[in-house]
Amino acid sequence: MTPSAILESALYVTDLDAAEAFYREVLGLEVIARAEGRHIFFRCGAGVLLLFNAEATRQAPPPDAKLPVPPHGAAGPGHLCFSATGDEIARWKAHLEAQNIDIEADFEWPSSGKSSGGGRSIYFRDPSGNSLEFAEPKIWGM
């Protein structure tokens, strides 16, 4: 058996309010759930982006918890890549720059046969320092 897709991805943030403003207002994602001081979840295409306050998720849930999610968390910046066409990447770059968000890298990936068909990526940071990317799916041969 092989998983068919990634349903959800998680990043850890230091300020949930700043993260909500960035992901909702700058990236246009829809908030689908929020727990004050713990997490905020966004719809992203067919998947879900989970943003957690890492400190709030490192503790084991109480024995009588309705949702006994095991503890988790991370330290330091994470990475997430959003899928986009070449034309969309150009528009995202202009949009991010208009919001005074620095583009850290903008380049074309080399074509390397089956694993990569080339393609463009741009990289930038969220307010917590996570590395975000928009890339063409063909960088992974898709």
Q: Which region, left, alpha or beta, applies to residue 27 given φ > 0 means left and ψ of -120 to 50 means alpha?
A: alpha
Q: What is residue 129's DSSP assignment?
A: -
Q: When comparing pLDDT for 45 and 61, which is higher?
A: 45
pLDDT tens per residue across span 75-130: 889 999 999 999 999 999 999 999 999 999 999 998 887 777 889 999 999 999 99
Mean pLDDT, residues 23-50: 96
Q: What 3-state class would DSSP assign to 93?
A: helix
CA distances from 80 to 1, 125, 132 (A): 25, 10, 5
* Strand boundaries in the chain, DSSP class E: 8-13, 30-35, 39-44, 47-53, 79-83, 105-111, 117-125, 131-135
Structural domains present in the chain: 1-61 (3.10.180.10), 77-142 (3.10.180.10)
Percent pLDDT > 70 in the chain is 100
Give the chain's mean pLDDT: 93
Rounded to whole angstroms, the Cα distance separating 140 from 131 reads: 18
